[in-house]
Structure 1
Amino acid sequence: MEHAILAAPHQGLRHYPPRTGCTERRGGAHADICLLVPADRTAVEASGRNNAGTRSQVNVRAPCIGLIPAGAKLTAAEDDPQGLVIALDSRILESRSRQVFGSSSSRELPLWFQAWDPFLREAASTLILLAQTAFVEAGCLDGFADAIALHVSYHYSRDVHARVREAPLSQLKLMLINAFISEHIAENIQVEQLAARVHMSPSHFAHAFKETTGSPPHFHLTTERVTLAKTMLSSSRLPLIDVAARTGFRTQQHFTEVFHRYTGMTPRVFRLAAHGAQTATANDTAGAQKSDTSRQE
């Protein structure tokens, strides 16, 4: 059976199928796209030139997957990187797309692109196990090949003749974005990571996010950091350097500069004002309670 999965060149990660080159032809097929599936905590940087000759790169870290040109250079920081690189034939992917979207549809895959895709991660793990099994039938591997090709074509291909239109984000996608920000707010969150959570390219995500919320993703992220910092400054006596670290700012100075720009006061002044207001409220409450007690007597 003709399928879209071929080998990728050996670049330090596990490749499927093994021991053949990404540009090697098999049965007339020619791999020109690679599906990158890092495992565990492996982070892989793919770099190279796009069709226009401009240098492009994308950093892919689990649990995301990446779609890159077959000739991209892969670099992993780890001495023993884990993961799978699956080579795809774009012509066979196009054939699968025609089966799904109709014979008149002309579609293409975006490259230098990453997405959060649990199905492909599970499929890659199963493919590794099957490849290690001595008596697995070739038809079983071909079946996985077709399943992956259909999934990639259905979820990520786009009509080359369609008019590009930025669709607003749904409430569900906004909830996913905000949940990710809340969980990772102490980290250096990139727009690429947010886009990957909702299966969008960074540029399309940025436009759709602004159209939906009225603010760019970076502004929203910074606002969330400042809002959390205000809560921590009001409700705790943590040192400013710890508040900065827990809300994702690089240094205390950076924290102070951004906080002042967004609130009009420094973190220290805001804390003093917040604690002063809390003390005044507590005194007013105590005075009111004392007055009520006196009347009752």
Structure 2
Amino acid sequence: MPLMGLLCGCNAIPIEEERASDPLNSTRSAVIVGTVNWSSTNSLTEGYPIYNAGKVGYLDIPARATRCTAWLASTDIVITNNHCIADAAQAAGAQVAFNYNDGVSSASYVWYNCSTFLETWPEYDMTALRCGPRNGLTPGQAQGGWLHISTTDAVNNQELYVIHQNCDYYTDAWCSPTKKFSPGRVTHANLTQTDVAYDADTLGGSSGSPVFSSFHHVVALHHLGYGGNSQGRGSYNSGVKASFLRAALYEIGVGWECGNGTCDPNEANDGSCPYDCTALCQAKCSDGVTCCGADGSCPDGLSCW
């Protein structure tokens, strides 16, 4: 049976309305697989999912009157989908809030100007934007680091989770697309040459979100839903594999900052970095700068990678 992929995670609704979906675009979005199985990230109580959730944000795209999800790949670079932002004109005015969470009022959202268009890779449905500092801090500094991209691709039946900005607007059209945690498993590790498929729930607006392995590293860039119906329910979702993300990001210097003496967490001393960080320190804390202690300890609020 041929696959019917329906692409678009952006929703043409102004941010101030806090409405999550344009019904006309609902069948072009990612999908809920079966019943809704996600929760507010506020319900996370411990461990790496909390750390990772802080690096994921609501991407407002005023040039297109749309929204997507974006995540930190370095101290000032966020990643989203090419179908969310494809060029510099579409990036104009783009901003990201990493605290667009349940219980946070709209007046308290902290927005970073992420309108500097760096690069896009249509073949991977990926775009990189640079964010300016706020109060003298880059978003990575303010959020305590950035996300680590897996050095291996996902395998069949592997547990994973997606962190994204959304809500079930099919049951509540005026819900607020706050940060969600969607657990799932890999259903097809090689759906296509570039994509892995999984059953974790997403909807339009989740596009650009990171998919995490059970080791809490980014194992895919979410971008597609398959078999969506008029209620946003479908068969499975898919994302671009980590190996393609890493190769693309190396082109813009992400993942091999170790040459300046600050081992990027994406550089795993695995031979993929043009420079060897091993002599600088064996492991870095999750801020990407501080060396872990010999006992694996890090300053308060940081974890050893």
Q: Normalised by the size of structure 2, how large is the TM-score?
A: 0.22
Of Structure 1 and Structure 2, which has the larger fraction of its residues in strand?
A: 2
- Which structure carries more relative contact order (alpha carbon 8 Å, separation 6+)? 2
- Compare CA radii of gyration and give the structure with the larger one: 1
Of Structure 1 and Structure 2, which has the larger fraction of its residues in helix?
A: 1
